[in-house]
Structure 1
Amino acid sequence: MLGLRRYFANSFTAGCYSSMGPGKKRGEDAYLITSDMLSVADGVGGWTLQGIDPSKYAWELMKNITDTEKVMKSERSSTKILTEAAKKCTNIGSSTCSLILLHPIIGSLDTLNIGDSGFFIYRKIDKAYKLIDKSKEILHGFNFPFQLGTDGDKVDSAWTKIIQVQDKDVIIMYSDGLSDNLYEETVREIVNKECADEVNVENTAKKLGEKAYEICQSTNYISPFAKAASIAYGQRYMGGKPDDIILLLLLWLI
């Protein structure tokens, strides 16, 4: 029975960092963390031009995901849950969405990504954390992510993948406020520095978020967003991308 108990003991501990873009009075990102699910939604800021608060759709989507998952235990999948949750949204607006369902028995992740939020998964190999998997961005073009909501895209257009995880894997889920300002190599360097001896999820999330916020205010750093803009428009751009930042950092435990 000892092995069976161990088999059912999959769980995680989580930390969170959240900040609004410089000068903003209201954030547009939303997130959820439950015992077996996490998600990030980035409300599309363009709706403010029509007098609409982008955060309302993003938070409604998170609530609907939580409510839907509670009644869909027997047919639980990221695609089905998000499809039903999006159908129930009544607010005008749109958002990207990254969703991970945690399977507590077999230690796997049912992952989905639509737009430019996403996740990284790191594993300690030979005393250093290495990237073992990550989400794929789904974009119509530069700075134009796929999005759910009013006149938006379908859940069927999302990228999905089942990923097997191991004891002490580190999962970082984020809105594009992180990925537009920090290269994955920088994220990995911070994870290795902060988690060299043991993983403090709150402290590591804080360090990553603070670094992303620092870069988002920079005017002379070639951030991932500046690099992509330079390629898209054929001229040189510098600096970070001022934006809301949400990141969830999980330590998977078996």
Structure 2
Amino acid sequence: MRLTRRLLNAATHPVSHSTQAPPLVYNLGLSYAAKYSPPFVPASSDPESLGFAGKPTKLGKWVDAMRSLQAGRGVLRAREGGWDEGLQEEVRKWGAGEDFFGVVDSGQWVNIAVSDGVGGWAPRYDPSLYAQALMYHYASAVASSPSIAPWDALQKAYEKINADEAVKAGSATAVGVSLGATGKSRAVNLGDSGFTILRNGQTVFESKSQTHYFNCPYQLSKVPKEMQNGAITDLPAHGQRYEFDLQPGDVVILYTDGLSDNLPAAHVPALDAAVLRVLDVEANAHLEHGERAAEHARLLADVLVASGRAAMARTGDEQGGHGQDWRTPFDIESEQHGRRYKGGKVDDITVLTAVVSERLV
């Protein structure tokens, strides 16, 4: 599916006719929060399963490595120096719930992905295991072959997870994006996770959700023989494929449906603009080019998770001015399908951002 390249090109200003594209840098931001974590459960509660975390296996060690990446959980505090160690301990304690993610930077290619484990397998099977294993095998595929197309990496991951005895059953959505050093990039999306591209403060692309029916996304699955009758078994080939060109200043946002079910799409560029206004204040004037891009990515991921979680707490009865009477996408879609789930949908949420900048050295 190549319409995104045309769509993105239509949104750009005239570019140089130079045959040598400038090498690009991708500054990443990561924020995630489990459904069953404060403020939706008491801070004194024990966290839900962390899946393979802490297990003495290659998969378990990889999950621990991903969980050790600096990340937020939508807790916005005004402080210098970014996230402190206390917050990082909170992030590690509560985890991503049934979501997971993968990051592989090989220099010429930066591969990022997110996955949302389907909760319907609980309590018999832990839904987080499939999502974590899918991301592990996806990351392994792109680490072995950095220039591999995301859809081919997803196919390899699917085949590996079917042979992985550590995962007995489960399902998950997946979105993977391969960011090239020249800006030429590719993506695959299967299900109702997704990705958005911002350029010059506007949304120039948003992936489309794939669902079989309301609240039932396309999903990769591993189904025990005794449960295969009537099971949903989508394939990697059913995912949507994209190719597009990126340029300095673009912002790529990957997310699970904890964001897209709760935060209207129009809020995303508005929140990005708010982050840029924060970076423009005099107190941040000391930030160099690369530092500013890194802070942009970090803050945007966290602001989106914070806003998504705030939207989860909406009742659907909000009234009055000041822009507070909007409805969540899940609320609107449920009504379109003859149901009415008012307000927000409490869920796991994961956001990965990539802010594109030009390499200056």
TM-score with structure 1 setting the length: 0.90
Spell out, residue by residue over 1:60-80, the C-alpha distance to the aligned partner (whole angstroms, 9 max, x if none).
Answer: 111101111223346x11111
Q: Is 1:34 aligned with 2:104?
A: yes
Which deviates the most, 184-193 or 200-209? 200-209
Residue of structure 2 equivalent to 1:95: 172
What is the root-mean-square deviation of aligned Cα atoms in Å? Answer: 1.8
- Structure 2 counterpart of 1:158, which letter? G
Question: 2:188–2:239: 8 Å Cα contact kept in structure 1?
Answer: yes
Residue of structure 2 equivalent to 1:10: 24
Spell out, residue by residue over 1:185-228, the C-alpha distance to the aligned partner (whole angstroms, 9 max, x if none).
Answer: 11111011112445522122111111110111221252100110
Say which one has the larger Rg.
2
SS at match of 2:345: coil
CA distance in 2, matches of 1:140, 1:239: 23
Residue of structure 1 equivalent to 2:119: 45
CA distance in 2, matches of 1:70, 1:171: 21
Residue of structure 1 equivalent to 2:153: 81
Residue of structure 2 equivalent to 1:252: 356
Report the alpha carbon displacement of residue 165 of structure 1 after superposing the two structures with TM: 0.7
Residue of structure 1 equivalent to 2:329: 224
SS at match of 1:88: helix
CA distance in 1, matches of 2:199, 2:141: 31
SS at match of 1:83: helix
- Structure 1 counterpart of 2:117, which letter? G
What is the aligned counterpart of 1:60 among 129, 133, 136?
Answer: 133
Q: Is 1:241 aligned with 2:241?
A: no
Gaps of 5+ in 2: 1-17, 42-46, 50-96, 224-232, 281-291, 319-326
Q: Is 1:201 aligned with 2:297?
A: yes
SS at match of 2:335: helix
TM-score with structure 2 setting the length: 0.64
Which deviates the most, 184-193 or 197-206? 197-206
1:112-151 equivalence runs, <5 A: 112-124=188-200, 129-151=201-223
- Structure 2 counterpart of 1:245, which letter? I
Alignment CA distance shift 1:48-1:236 (3 Å): closer
Report the alpha carbon displacement of residue 238 of structure 1 after superposing the two structures with TM: 1.3
What is the aligned counterpart of 1:191 among 272, 289, 292?
Answer: 272
Identity of paired residues, percent?
30
